[in-house]
Amino acid sequence: MTSTLTVTDIAGYLRDSGWQQRQERWRGASIWVYEEQYEVLVPARDGMGDSDLRVRQIVDTLAQVEDRPTGEIVLDIRMPWSDTQVITMFPHGLPSGFTTLRGGLQALTGVEGALRAAAQSVRGDVPADVERLLGRVQLGPARAGSYILPVRVPVDDDDALGRQVTRRLHTAVSLLSRAQPDPNDLREAEIPAELCESVSRLGNRPFEIGFRWARAIPSDLPTVAYTFAEGAATVIRAAAEQLRRMGDPATVTLTGVIQGLRDDESRDDRWSIEVRGTGRRAVWVRLPDRATYDAAIAAHRAGRQVRVRGEMKTLGRRAELLAGPDGFQLLED
């Protein structure tokens, strides 16, 4: 497996993982150190006589430093464009690496449902994009250590949809891991009830969900694992039900810049804009008429800030602001 790793990929992984390259070399090989405790030699180029041995030594050292299996290290080096979620379940009375058939099916259903709900909350207005992303998600083999299931989400799409989805999933998991998840926090973070219910399918036994971020796209979020205690699934389902009963929020106001325009001739309410406000993700706003849309086009071209006011509605699984007749305002510079 290590024979497929290139010198370029290895050097990139070491650099992104905090290793430092020394000025001097040893017989052509570059010397990399980590916290002055570990040292590896990276071959000068691919295909050298001792390359396979050197690469195996590098992977073994990384596994020791990161306390992870060598197989995971190799995959991370080979696949720099994937965010990884690691689901760890603790089934009772079973050998390491095993779960029950029912537990495994529920876990797979929960993972697919959580990713789907996260993707739809980000891009629900383009179902094809959601399906395309889900079709590229990779499910790794379960490995020893309770029941551990790695999931890799590609983030190499042009509009970073994969990263948007994994960030939304991370937000949901961080909120749901609390002893008593607050439906108001979930609602404010635009986490759909379907995502919460999907996480609850991992069961009432303790479980963990870990996040690692693709090194090709640095993230401001840490590598972290969230722990769920015994009975967490019941608590999460209750939070999801409260979230659903809360319904749509009341009239809201959003101020920001327009970053997208859409004129969908197949709809009666065909005019939409995408507005990014301060400290929140972009929101699609449905405009009432052509005149308002024309004003939005002019504001977009000029880079002017706008203020929109209306009702936030959940259409399917996508949140959208429906601007009223007087709900669009061009702000002064």
Distance CA 295, CA 235 (A): 47
Q: Are residues 234 and 107 part of one domain?
A: yes
Q: How many CA atoms lie within 13 A of 136 on its CB side?
A: 16
Residue 96's pLDDT is 85
Q: Rounded to whole angstroms, how far apart are CA atoms 58 and 74?
A: 10
Angle CA 114–254–266, to nearest 5: 70
pLDDT of residue 316: 53
Structure confidence at residue 173 (pLDDT): 98
How far is residue 329 CA from its own chain's centroid? 34
Question: Which residue, 220, 246, 272, sits at the end of a domain?
Answer: 246
Alpha-helix residue ranges (DSSP H) falling in the chain = 7-16, 51-66, 70-78, 101-123, 127-136, 161-176, 183-188, 193-200, 232-246, 290-302
Amino acid at 10: I
Mark whether 179 and 274 lie in a shared domain.
Answer: no
Q: Do both 64 and 94 map to the same domain? A: no
Amino acid (one-letter) located at 158: D
* Distance from C-alpha of 117 to C-alpha of 21, rounded to nearest angstrom: 42
What are the C-alpha distances in Å from 16 to residues 214, 216, 235, 310? 10, 9, 38, 44
Residue 189 contacts residue 122 (beta carbons within 8 Å): no
CB 88 within 8 A of CB 146: yes
CATH number at residue 279: 2.40.50.140
Residue 251: the pLDDT is: 66
> 270 and 135, same structural domain?
no
Distance CA 10, CA 74 (A): 9
Residue 126 to residues 132, 164, 207: CA-CA distances in angstroms? Answer: 10, 14, 32
For residue range 142-159, list pLDDT tens digits in order: 777 789 999 999 999 877
Tell me how many domains the chain contains: 3
CATH of the domain at 48: 3.30.920
Residue ranges for the chain with pLDDT beneath 50? none
The answer on 206 and 95 residing in a single domain is: yes
Question: Do 59 and 92 belong together in one domain?
Answer: no
Query: Residue 12 class from Cβ within 10 Å (0-12 exposed, 13-18 middle, 19+ buried)?
Result: middle
Which of 49, 78, 107 terminates a domain? The answer is: 78
Q: Which of 328, 216, 220, 231 is nearest to 271 (CA)?
A: 328
Question: Which tokens sit at 243?
Answer: 């979230």
Terminal CA-to-CA distance of the chain, rounded, Å?
58
Among candidate residues 24, 56, 78, the one where a domain is terminated: 78
Confidence (pTM): 0.70
Containing structural domain, residue 36: 2-78
- Same domain flag for 229 and 294: no
Assess whether 93 and 61 both reside in one domain: no
Matching residue, tokens 């490995």 = 143
- Residue 266 identity: S
| Together in a domain, 126 and 143 | yes
28 with 109, same domain: the answer is no
Across the strands, what pairs with 309?
A: 253
Residues 118 and 8 in one domain: no
Residues 94 and 129 in one domain: yes
How does 105-137 read in b/e, with b if 16+ C-beta sit within 10 Å? Answer: ebbeebbbbbbbbbbbbbbbbeeebbeebeeeb
pLDDT of residue 197: 96
Q: What is the pLDDT of residues 52-78, one digit of tens each?
A: 888 999 999 999 998 888 988 998 898
Distance (Å) of CA 148 to CA 106, 139, 199, 228, 273: 14, 11, 15, 15, 42
Tokens 């720099």 map to which residue? 80
